[in-house]
Amino acid sequence: MKVYNTLSRKKEEFIPLEEGKVSMYVCGPTVYNLIHIGNARPMIVFDTVRRYMEHKGYAVNYVSNFTDVDDKIIKKANEEGTDASVISERYIAECKKDMEALNVKPATTHPKATCEIDGMIEMINTLLEKGHAYVAEDGTVYFKTRSFAEYGKLSHKNLDDLRSGERSLLVSGEDQKQDPLDFVLWKPKKEGEPFWTAPWCEGRPGWHIECSVMSKKYLGDEIDIHAGGEDLIFPHHENEIAQSEAANGKPFAKYWMHNGFLNIDNKKMSKSLGNFFTVRDISEKYDLQVLRFFMLSAHYRSPLNFSAELMAAAKNGLDRIVTSVVNLNFLLENAGDGAMSEAEENLLAEAEGFVDKFDEAMDDDFNTADAISAIFELVKFANTHADAESSGAFLEALKEKIVMLSDICGLIVEKKQGMLDEDIEALIQERQEARKAKNFARADEIRNILTEKGIILEDTREGVKWKRA
Ligand code: AMP
Ligand code: ZN
């Protein structure tokens, strides 16, 4: 399996630190609002990486944090006249609902920054002891960036380049820094802000130290994969490396993975431009499985443009898989329990070729676009070779393959509890197209499938109406 590593800027063979196990940390959202579809991209992408690794037999320890103390959370709490924890707990609960709707598996652990303050104080103490940090007069603790010789190795910046752009690194209120490149580990409290007691002052942690500490606590000093959106490469992940490696004296993460950005109408998605959708907005217009399919239809490192056209294409793509499984289930209900014929066994061996194609695509740095093409080829193969004469064993084996590959992508293509409205509508749509193409045999077959399921069709002048018997 090859994984593109931001650290080396190359695809590398994936060799975990411990055989059969994968430790993975994915930077999670800051919880001050409903998550937007940009935040959903790393969730979906790295959930798919995890699912594929599990499919390959690895035991994956997957940690993803919630940043629950931050300026934006505090601002919102002040606006609502409530505590920051009320805001963060509300949006953690909402985020979990969205994750479930997107079929993103819960992490092995979802740590919250505010529950890990002791570990942060401990790591900051270690950095102070080792001479990698200092306390300013007002009690702010800074990381001494120049004390970490390898600073810049992830973002491929050198300290001189950074110096020339150092003006942009100056942050107001941080004027006691010894060097503009230094960054905050701990800052003093301000009026109306949550705070914790620490040896240097009452205050709160900087953002970067959270992830170094949570990753260490739940996964150990050295981990296999650290991931997030590409905007996190600098400074967040660069700073995490500096803190963790300076404190622990060991390499931090072996592979650094970053997803590309999600844009809207080819522009950066941002609140100020007003081109901004929450996952909840999208759920009112589309099944969130369509959003998941859309995200996986591109390579995770490419920028991806969100548009109504691409979502419509994603819906069609997903419908093709769902309809094929509905067909197979229908045929299965009527199939006898006779054994598979030799011809069917040969066909199944051929179908296995599409599974190999899927694996090859995923082994090549999780190329989900090609992996989904392999599912389409399998679906086409099933549609061609499965019919009323097929044995139950053959139909079952074909269906199992389609469902298994879809499940690795986290796509739910088989609804267990009877037929859902969208499955019915997908079949009706297919029947209309079959009639247009004068394929009346297929049109009748679909009507029969639906009748069997207790769905009654009525052709009216306004179109096809349906009801449950
Ligand atoms: P934040 O809450 O801003 O820290 O973001 C949480 C995660 O979402 C991080 O991994 C970000 O890199 C990622 N992210 C934010 N916006 C986008 C976007 N438009 N496209 C892709 N990933 C994003
Ligand atoms: Zn992080």
Beta bridge partners of 22: 60
pLDDT of residue 417 exceeding 60: no
pLDDT of residue 198 exceeding 70: yes
Helix (H) or strand (E) holding 112: none
Which residues, 6 or more positions from 214, have their beta carbon under 8 angstroms from its beta carbon? 25, 63, 65, 111, 113, 116, 119
The reported pLDDT for the residue numbered 164 is 67
pLDDT in tens, 42-65: 999 999 999 999 999 999 999 999
Task: Indicate which atom in ligand 1 lies nearest the CA of residue 35.
Answer: 2
Structure tokens at 317: 């793509």
Helices H / strands E in the chain, number of each: 15, 15
Ligand 1 center from residue 66 Cα (angstroms): 13
Q: Are 243 and 127 in contact (CB under 8 A)?
A: yes
pLDDT of residue 405 exceeding 90: yes
Confidence bin at 160 (pLDDT 50/70/90): confident
The reported pLDDT for the residue numbered 158 is 85
The single residue listed with the structure tokens 């002052």 is 201
The reported pLDDT for the residue numbered 260 is 96
Q: Are 36 and 392 in contact (CB under 8 A)?
A: no
Q: Are 105 and 54 in contact (CB under 8 A)?
A: no
Name which residue sits closest to atom 7 of ligand 1, judged by CA.
39
Q: Identify the residues whose C-beta falls under 6 Å from ligand 1.
A: 27, 29-30, 38-39, 41-42, 228-229, 231-232, 259, 261-262, 269
Q: Which residue has the higher pLDDT, 133 or 173?
A: 133
Quote the distance between the C-alpha of residue 164 and its chain's center. 35
The reported pLDDT for the residue numbered 173 is 67
pLDDT of residue 416 exceeding 80: no
Strand 223-229 with 183-188, pairing = unpaired
Q: Are 223 and 206 in contact (CB under 8 A)?
A: no
Q: How far is it, in rounded angstroms, from Cα 320 to Cα 337? A: 27
Mean pLDDT in residue range 289-305: 97
pLDDT in tens, 212-239: 999 999 999 999 999 999 999 999 999 9
Q: Are 34 and 70 in contact (CB under 8 A)?
A: no
pLDDT of residue 452 exceeding 90: no
Mean pLDDT of the chain: 93
Q: Which residue has the higher pLDDT, 376 or 430?
A: 376
CATH architecture designation of domain 21-268: 3-Layer(aba) Sandwich (3.40)
Nearest in space to 137 (alpha carbons), one of 196, 185, 179, 200: 200
Cis amide leading into 235 (omega within 30): yes
pLDDT of residue 137 exceeding 80: yes
Q: Are 304 and 260 in contact (CB under 8 A)?
A: yes
**How does 285-300 read in b/e, with b if 16+ C-beta sit within 10 Å?**
ebbbbbbbbbbbbbbb
Residue spans of the domains in the chain: they are 21-268, 308-408, 421-468
pLDDT of residue 272 exceeding 70: no
Confidence bin at 288 (pLDDT 50/70/90): very high
The single residue listed with the structure tokens 């190795």 is 153
Q: Which residue has the higher pLDDT, 82 or 164?
A: 82
Per mean pLDDT, which range of 49-53, 241-245, 413-417 is the poorest? 413-417
Quote the distance between the C-alpha of residue 55 and its chain's center. 17
pLDDT in tens, 74-88: 999 999 999 999 999
Quote the distance between the C-alpha of residue 404 and its chain's center. 19
The single residue listed with the structure tokens 């009706």 is 428
Q: How far is it, in rounded angstroms, from Cα 324 to Cα 390? A: 15
**How long is the chain?**
469
Ligand 1 center from residue 276 Cα (angstroms): 13
Mean pLDDT in residue range 17-34: 96
Name which residue sits closest to atom 2 of ligand 1, judged by CA.
29
Mean pLDDT in residue range 140-166: 88
CATH number corresponding to 308-408: 1.20.120.640
pLDDT of residue 449 exceeding 90: no
